[in-house]
Structure 1
Amino acid sequence: MSSPVILHRRASRPASFWRLWLTWALACLLAASAMPVRADGVELSAMSTIRSDEGLELSFSTRFELPRAAEDALMKGVSLYFVAEVSVQRKRWYWRDARASKASRSWRLYWYALTRQYRVSSGGLTQSFNNLPEALASLRGVSGWRIAEARELDEDGSHYLEFSYRLDTSQLPKPMQIGLSIGQGWNLGVERNLGLNPDFSLRTAAASAPTP
């Protein structure tokens, strides 16, 4: 005669177990949400415009940290280029908006091994710095940058700015461009559209808006 088959029924979990498990899961979720998240990008910390007899001048400053991959490339002799671009747009109700002016400014950051200094070149001027923070501070913004001539501004029109500032990876050596990825932190940049008042001052204060 065959032996009887004994079926074992799994005991159900007590309600106290599930309450404990849910409490633990909720605690883990809250802890994860409280962890700081670092986004790669540039914070536009300040921006202002001033209208003069000569035209329109822009001043801005940014905050960012150089990613480790970019800093390593810099120490290996690779130059890094930062570019600021701005256009003054004039609104038109009857057609697409017109560009009144466009201006750009670039900075080249490199390590000069002979003197063990960082150098920043812009507009034909080169400055030397003993450390990287000082070098970065010199290219994070500009003051009194003329972005439009007086003749380009329509006194009766409505204007706004299209502004961008970025680490220009297109000027890196070609082999480096092939291996670039967003996860390495090379996507440093910020873009903003800001309205102008009738006196050509900024309509709203600039807030941070890093590019994704």
Structure 2
Amino acid sequence: MRRRHMLHGLLLGPWWLGGVVPRTAWAQAASLSNLQLSRGDGALLLDFAVRLQLPRAVEDALQRGVPMYFVASATVRRSRWYWRDARIARVRRTWRLAFQPLTATWRVSLGALSQNHDTLPEALASLSASAGWPVCELSQLAPDGDYVEFAYALDTERLPRPMQIGLPGASDWVLRVERELKVPAS
């Protein structure tokens, strides 16, 4: 019986570690360097800055003309003891990053606005930070117990369908950072 447990441990150990190791690898690809909430202009404002280190597979796809979408989302919630926490407000921003091979420039689009950059680090810097982003109106907030769930991620669901086939479980394509932050008192 003891040999059997040892054999299972030897056989399943690498498989189990295989599920743990990629998580630590991608955790270093995206990290928050700044996340702050403030009150101003009648709204709750969010400032964030994410440090991005693109995995080689993502960078190769970008060089070949595949656009990538990065999404920042913030959800304001109110704590409740009797039920799930109530959602007060939810906002989302989506950036599109694409390489323009004819001009050898990087194009970052946010809604109808677009900017061209000469290098990939410049383009990543423009899409990985935001200041003064209004999350909700101050009138929606309670005096106590509200918090913000923030997430910044690479949206792999917007990739071309053939590229999505092998993605589930591919750690090279997981760029995500999440944080929870208490709303400051007025």
TM-score category, normalised to shorter length:
0.7 to 0.9
Q: How far apart in 1 are the matches of 2:52 and 2:169?
A: 16
SS of 2:173's partner is coil
Q: How far apart in 2 are the matches of 1:133 and 1:103?
A: 26
Q: What is the count of residue pairs matched by the alignment? A: 161
Q: How far apart in 2 are the matches of 1:104 and 1:195?
A: 19
**1:183: Cα distance to partner?**
4.5
* TM-score when normalising by structure 2: 0.81
Q: How far apart in 1 are the matches of 2:82 and 2:166?
A: 46
CA distance change for structure 1 residues 198 and 132 in 2, over 3 Å: closer, same or farther?
A: same
Q: How far apart in 1 are the matches of 2:42 and 2:111?
A: 20
**1:180: Cα distance to partner?**
2.0
Q: How far apart in 1 are the matches of 2:144 and 2:112?
A: 35
CA distance change for structure 1 residues 184 and 95 in 2, over 3 Å: closer, same or farther?
A: closer
Q: How far apart in 2 are the matches of 1:195 and 1:182?
A: 32
In our comparison, the structure showing a higher alpha carbon Rg is 1
2:52 to 56, 61, 64: 64
SS of 1:185's partner is helix
2:61 to 73, 92, 105: 73
1:39 aligns with: 25
User: Contact conserved, 1:61 with 1:141, CA < 8 A, in 2?
Assistant: yes
1:196 aligns with: 183
CA distance change for structure 1 residues 174 and 184 in 2, over 3 Å: closer, same or farther?
A: same
Q: How far apart in 2 are the matches of 1:173 and 1:70?
A: 13
SS of 2:45's partner is strand
SS of 1:198's partner is coil
- Does residue 91 (structure 1) correspond to residue 79 (structure 2)? The answer is yes
User: Contact conserved, 1:81 with 1:168, CA < 8 A, in 2?
Assistant: yes
**1:67: Cα distance to partner?**
1.0
**1:96: Cα distance to partner?**
2.5
Q: How far apart in 2 are the matches of 1:192 and 1:103?
A: 15
CA RMSD of aligned residues (A): 1.6
User: Contact conserved, 1:158 with 1:198, CA < 8 A, in 2?
Assistant: no
CA distance change for structure 1 residues 135 and 178 in 2, over 3 Å: closer, same or farther?
A: same
1:179 aligns with: 166
**1:45: Cα distance to partner?**
1.2
Q: How far apart in 2 are the matches of 1:149 and 1:85?
A: 16
Q: Could you say which structure has the higher strand fraction?
A: 2
Q: How far apart in 2 are the matches of 1:76 and 1:163?
A: 31
User: Contact conserved, 2:109 with 2:115, CA < 8 A, in 1?
Assistant: yes
Structure 2 residue ranges without an equivalent (≥5): 1-23
- Does residue 135 (structure 1) correspond to residue 159 (structure 2)? The answer is no
* TM-score when normalising by structure 1: 0.71
Q: Could you say which structure has the higher helix fraction?
A: 2
Q: Percent identity?
A: 48
2:155 aligns with: 168
1:19 aligns with: none
Structure 1 residue ranges without an equivalent (≥5): 1-37, 200-212
**1:157: Cα distance to partner?**
3.4
Which stretch shifts more, 105-114 or 188-197? 188-197
